[in-house]
């Protein structure tokens, strides 16, 4: 029996030695610690990239206001170490270190903050993303095109940050509020024609299919006059007049032009004084507050059935 024990002890000892040798060689070849070579999970981002995570992120940089809002809504404000200069909500975001714009981030600041996760969104080029990855940084892309995408992205961020319970609670509340609106609008017989104008720089910028703003208009009981278009695009003034919107909802940068544009005087919206504005951040940021944007659009389009949302 003693010989048998000795024999297995020798085998076990040789096995451990072989394992340590292999691990040591792997460590030398990679130049990293063994613990850094074993990701805890792999997750596909919205850019189609398989991103590896080694543990739960503790130092996060957000390169989009919408991502910043999601992180705070999930209770991750204390782990947020850097934001863009556009990240102004919640107010606590203004106290975070600013690392430039989403399309022109300050790489020196980013590296100095030693992040273990950088959340990017629409507008950050692949050149910038690849540059950050080349520096050994973990970059995860969020790109929401509709409300389902927004909800799924919130759940995904919850998954990679160990906030799955919080993400599920948040998205459930959002879904409930969305349903509270759509349960009333889906049965409507009359859907007013709506023109959404979010900017006038370089043309009349609007939204077509494949955008969450278009979906918000539809769920709010409106008929987007630009539904034949795709994405974020421009439309000519002549086309707007020809389609004769009954309601114009303009972003904050376009509202002054909309209410003063004599060119729109022949439209139903102008003649019935139904040219409105809405907080851009509620409608144009793909984050938790989109449900507030939906409630505002529903009120502006159908004030006969929806009360004015509380601030």
Peptide bond into 90 cis (omega under 30): yes
The closest of 117, 118, 98, 116 to 106, measured between CA atoms, is 98
Separation of alpha carbons 69 and 48, rounded Å: 23
**Which residues lie closer than 8 Å to 13 by C-beta, 6 or more apart?**
none
**Reported pTM:** 0.86
Half-sphere exposure (Cβ direction) of 188: Cα atoms closer than 13 Å: 21
CA terminus-to-terminus distance, the chain: 80
> CA quadruple 227, 229, 234, 237: dihedral positive or negative?
negative
**Beta-carbon neighbour count of residue 65 at 10 Å?**
23
289 within 8 A of 281, measured Cβ to Cβ: yes
Cβ atoms < 10 Å from Cβ of 88: 14
Write down the pLDDT at residue 311.
Answer: 73
Strand locations in 251-311 (E): 275-277
Instruction: List, in order of start, the domains of the chain with CATH numbers.
Output: 37-143 (3.40.50.1980), 187-301 (3.40.50.1980)
Q: What is the pLDDT along the chain (311 residues), one digit of tens a residue?
A: 433 333 333 433 334 333 333 333 344 344 444 445 577 899 999 999 999 999 999 999 999 999 999 999 999 999 999 999 999 999 999 999 999 998 899 999 999 999 999 999 988 999 999 999 999 999 999 999 999 999 999 999 999 999 999 999 999 999 999 999 999 999 899 999 999 999 999 999 999 999 999 999 999 999 999 999 999 999 999 999 999 999 999 999 999 999 999 999 999 999 999 999 999 999 999 999 999 999 999 999 999 999 999 87
């Amino acid at each position: 029996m003693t010989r048998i024990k000795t024999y297995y002890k020798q085998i076990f000892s040789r096995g451990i030695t072989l394992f340590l040798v292999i691990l040591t060689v792997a460590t030398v070849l990679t130049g990293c610690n063994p613990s850094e070579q074993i990701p805890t999970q792999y997750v596909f981002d919205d850019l189609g990239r398989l991103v590896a995570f080694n543990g739960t992120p503790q130092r996060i940089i957000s390169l989009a206001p919408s991502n910043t809002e999601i992180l705070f809504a999930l209770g991750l404000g204390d782990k947020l170490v850097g934001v863009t200069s556009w990240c102004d909500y919640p107010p606590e975001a203004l106290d975070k270190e600013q690392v430039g714009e989403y399309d022109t981030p300050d790489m020196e600041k980013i590296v100095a903050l030693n992040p273990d996760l950088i959340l990017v969104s629409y507008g950050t080029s692949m050149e910038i993303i690849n540059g950050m990855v080349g520096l050994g940084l973990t970059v995860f892309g969020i790109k929401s095109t509709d409300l389902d995408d927004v909800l799924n992205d919130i759940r995904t961020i919850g998954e990679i940050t160990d906030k799955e319970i919080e993400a599920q609670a948040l998205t459930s509340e959002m879904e409930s509020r969305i349903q509270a609106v759509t349960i009333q609008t889906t049965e409507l017989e009359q859907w007013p024609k709506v023109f959404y104008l979010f900017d006038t720089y370089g043309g009349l910028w609007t939204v077509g299919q494949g955008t969450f703003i278009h979906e918000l208009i539809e769920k709010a009981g409106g008929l987007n006059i630009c539904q034949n278009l795709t994405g974020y695009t421009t439309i000519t003034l002549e086309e707007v007049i020809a389609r004769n919107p009954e309601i114009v909802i303009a972003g904050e940068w376009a509202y002054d032009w909309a209410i003063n544009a004599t060119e729109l005087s022949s439209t139903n919206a102008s003649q019935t004084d139904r040219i409105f504005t809405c907080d851009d951040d509620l409608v144009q940021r793909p984050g938790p507050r989109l449900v507030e944007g939906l409630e505002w659009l529903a009120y502006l389009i159908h004030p006969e059935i929806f009360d004015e949302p509380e601030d």
